[in-house]
Structures are given as C-alpha cells and as structure tokens.
Amino acid sequence: MTQAEERDTEEETAALKAPRRGIFGRQTAPLLPEAGAAGAPLTAVIAVMSFLAVLAMASLLMVNRAASEWTSALRSEITVQVKGASAEEIESGVEAVLRVLRDTEGVLEANEKSREETAELLEPWLGDGNAQAFLNIPAIIEVKAAPSLRDNLDLLRNRIAAAAPTASLDDHARWHDRLSGAARSGQAMAFGVFLLVMGAACAISIFAARAGLAANHEIVSVLHLVGATDEFIAAEVQRRFFILGLRGALLGLFAALAALVVAGLAMRAGGGTDNFLPSLRLGGWMILWLAAAPVATCLVTAVTARLTVLKTLSQQY
Amino acid sequence: MDAGKEIVRFEEMGLAYEDAPETLSDVTMTLREGEFRFLTGPSGAGKTSLLKMIYLAHRPTRGRFFLFEENATEAPREALPALRRRIGVVFQEFRLLDHLTAYENVALPMKVAGVNQNQYREDVSELLNWVGLGDRMDAKPPTLSGGEKQRVALARALVSKPDLILADEPTGNVDPAMGERIMKLFVELNKLGAAVIVATHDLHLVQSIGKPVLRIGEGRVTRSAGAGGAA
C-alpha cells in the first residue's frame, strides 16, 4: 500500500469514528409529506361529515328516548269510559266499575276524571261551556295497571261489561301501535341519515386517497424501489388520514354539541319539552353515544383510505 | 473453484415500452455472487433500462429473468419487496425525497424494512460521515448541491448492506477525487461479496478500476469484455 493510500485509509477510518452529532433522540418525519394546503379542505369536509353524523346520532337517540317514554306511559295506563243516558246512570256505572277495579289484582290506582276535566278535553271542538250544558259527558276512569294485568285484560274487560254494560275499556293498543310504528320510522330515518353520512365520508376518502397517491407518485415509487410493501405505504396513508380525520371529527363533534345545547335551550325557552317533544339532555351515555359518531367518521375515513391505496397499488407493478 | 450463486440471469430477455419497438432485445447474461461489471454504451443504448429491469421497476416483455435465483418474470407482486431490499440502487437522477432530511433519506431502506431506529442510527450517520456529509445530516435535498445529493443517494443505496449494488452514472456529479473514492468503495464492497453493476460513460474510470465490461448498443448486449475493457 502506498503512503497516499495509507493516508486515505486513515482519513476514512477517522471519518467513520467521528462523533455523531444530533442523532440521538432524532425524530424522523412522516414518509409521506404533510398534506399542507390540501389537508385543510379535507379536514373541513370531515368536520362537516362529523357534524352531520353527530346530529343524526342525536336524532336517533332522541327518537329512541321519546318512543320509550311514550310507549311505556301508554302501556302502564288503561282507560275506562262509562256512558249513559243520564247523569245518574253514568254515576251508578262509575261506582260499579270502580268496585270491579278495586277487586282486581294488578290495578295500582283508579281515579275518575272530574266532569270539568273531561269537559275541558271537549272544549276545543264544542266551545267554552257548551259541553256540560248540552251533553251527558261520559265519565273517564284512568287506571294505572301493573304489567301482569296488562297481559290479561280480557278477563277485566268481561267483568266490567258485566258490572256496567255501558262501560268500555280502552287499552290504548291502537295508539301504542301507531306510536311504535312512527318511532320505528323515525329511528330508521335517523339511522339512514347516519349511514348516508358514513357513505359520503367513504366516498370523500376514496377520492382524496387517490388524489394523494397521484400527487405523491414519485415518493410512492421510491418507497417501492427501496423495498416498501403496499401494506407499509397504505399504513402511512392511513395514519395521515386518521390524523386529519381526528382533527375534523373533533371539530365536528364540538360544533354539533354546541348546536344541540343551543337547540335544547331554545326548546326549553319555548316550552317545547313540557309536552310531546323529547327533551335534549346531554350527559353520561348520551355524550358517549354522540362521541361514537365522529370516532366512526374518523375510522371510516382512515380505513377507506387504506383500502383504496391497497387496491390502487395492486394494479401497479 | 465453484461458481458463486447466480444473482442476475437474463435469458433471451426483451423489453418494450407499450407499443414501441423493443428497447432491449435478446439480452442473455449472468451475474454471479461477488462479480463486478461495468455497463457501458452510448446514451440511449438501454443501460438505464437494463438497470431498471434488474431493480424491478419494469418486467421484461419477453424472455426470462432470474434474480437471486428466483424467477422474477413471474414473481407475484407480494414477492417483489423482499427482492428489492437485497438491492441497493444509486439512481442517475438521485430520486431523493425532498421533504426528508439527508439522514432520513439514507435511513429510508431501513425504515421501510421495519428496522428499529436504534439499530440503524449509527450506520446511517457513519455512512453520511464517510461521504463527507456529517455536518449536513439535517439538510433537505433542495438545499444540497448535485454532488451532495449524489453522495446521499450513494449512502442510501449502501445502508442496508445489499447483495447487489446497481449504480447509474454514480460519479457523474462529483469531483474526480470523490469519484475515485466511490469506485474504490464499490470495489471493497464487491470484495466483501456484493455483486456490483456500474453503468458509466467514464471509460477512464473503467480502465483505472480494471473490472469486466458489458457493452450495450441499440438495445443489445454487443460485447462482453474482460478486465479494463479488453475484449
């Protein structure tokens, strides 16, 4: 070996042994570039999707709660109506029915509505004061029934008919069926909207993943040439979409929660929660269910991006 | 002496891009473990296309191609990454990722292979030190000169200690002294068992290194010459 070659070798050895600066603790950048300007619109779209998904989920939960409240109230109550040609006949019928009810196991409470209360129910159709003046208004007896009685109403119906032939028992079955049907329709509609939002998130993710692959064609090509598998590249894309999705989903969740709180306050101010409409109470399980919607949006976005990348890459060499 | 394992073998291989005439025709050659070949020929002769075939950027349109004794012509897509990880390529146009630092570019083959950073950190920094870029590890390619980019590309090709090294004009953008160092490194790696193919126009370099030459012209391997280019 010549002197020059020996010197070169020594220099190279020294270079190899040179202290390494700034390497330990080095954080490497993502292999795919940050989305930059393209990331903001995607985040915004995912935020909108997440917002809609939370509202759809809130609708579903509200309809569920309302249906449950309505139907449980209907199932625990039955009504007995006592008609008659005169006030005396109605009065004797009511007494006979009340005797039967007091002797019936499963009747928790039985109260006759006053004539005034019953007349009030008719006033919207007959006008103020007209109902009591011109009609023998039937008596209404409200009964709170145990579930065991509910399942065996025919016996009670027969006993009431025997005690007071002008009395009739209404178990609200027709209302119950109609309300259940309406609730199921509402639930199906809310769930349908939720699925549509997920479908839209899917479609957006497919489009964005394809566009991202096209824009980063050179990077993907280099990754392949240094030995990256399709799964590796898809995982990188999925990670990026998950981060974008998470940002958007959280934005959408907070916006939707704010909207629900405002809507709840508005309903309360308008007295909407006093009667028929379900209340908007945020808390506990409700929050968890609502949070599931943006999580689903985020996961759908990330997984769809991964599958899109895998499919697209499988068509290349 | 037993012949080493086959690293590359082409049998009557042809390559055509879509409907165009064949870029490479009837290429038949074998490269064995521990062999070194220069690939020379005029511009457009097909040197880069031949290298692309070997590093699995293209499939041959006819003939057969074996890589590490596996039939790469019919290899399923899932089998390609494992084959590519055994090859280190110095691309003519460098093909560095602009959003990554020099360090991250060199570490790329290790990262995609799932190697823990603790295991390759020292190798990467040693290589960058060796190519004279120890103080530019955090620089991104757009801020590097052509020669510096070429050295990063070289370090990236060597970091995984590949069984086959392919270099397309590896000295084209560096000064003669660095060019000579790079070629000597290839020779040393070749002595350690790596097969090497270097495509170059630099006949002076070819003669100074004294390794067998494969000449390519108009898409055909026209002549296989002995050491230093002697036919």
B6-86+162-224 folds as: Rossmann fold (3.40.50)
Q: Percent of chain B, pLDDT > 70? A: 95
A6, A12, A225: best to mutate for the B interface, most B CBs within 10 A? A225
- CB-based contact A8 B101, cutoff 8 Å: no
- Predicted pLDDT at A19: 37
- CB-based contact B84 A33, cutoff 8 Å: no
Q: What would the pLDDT profile of B84-123 be if each residue is shown by its tens digit?
A: 999 999 998 899 999 999 999 999 999 999 999 888 999 9
Which residues have a Cβ under 8 Å from the Cβ of A70 and sit 6 or more positions away?
Answer: A179, A183
- Predicted pLDDT at A246: 92
- Predicted pLDDT at A271: 66
- Which band of pLDDT confidence, cut at 50, 70 and 90, is reported for residue B166? very high
- Predicted pLDDT at A317: 66
- Predicted pLDDT at A272: 57
Higher pLDDT, B224 or A288: A288
- Predicted pLDDT at B82: 95
For residue A191, give both structure tokens.
């769930």
CA separation for the pair A282, A257 (Å, rounded): 9
Instruction: Indicate the burial class of A56 (C-beta count within 10 angstroms; 0-12, 13-18, 19 or more).
Output: buried
Assess B57–A contact: CB distance below 8 Å, yes or no: yes
CA separation for the pair B50, B39 (Å, rounded): 9
Q: Which residues of chain A have pLDDT under 50?
A: 1-2, 4, 8-9, 11-25
Residue whose token pair is 């016996």: A155
- CB-based contact B108 A232, cutoff 8 Å: no
Closest Cα in chain A to B185: A12
Assess: ipTM above 0.85: yes
- CB-based contact B77 A230, cutoff 8 Å: yes
In chain B, residues with a C-beta closer than 8 Å to the C-beta of A229 are: 78, 81, 112
* pLDDT mean across residues, chain B: 88
- Predicted pLDDT at A135: 67
**Number of CB pairs < 8 Å for A and B?**
95
The domains of chain B are located at 6-86+162-224, 97-156
Distance from CA of B195 to the nearest CA of A (A): 17
- CB-based contact A227 B85, cutoff 8 Å: yes
Closest Cα in chain A to B107: A28
Q: What would the pLDDT profile of B172-206 be if each residue is shown by its tens digit?
A: 777 888 888 888 888 988 988 899 999 998 888 88
Assess B208–A contact: CB distance below 8 Å, yes or no: no
- Predicted pLDDT at A209: 92
Assess B134–A contact: CB distance below 8 Å, yes or no: yes
- CB-based contact B129 A20, cutoff 8 Å: yes
- CB-based contact A20 B55, cutoff 8 Å: no
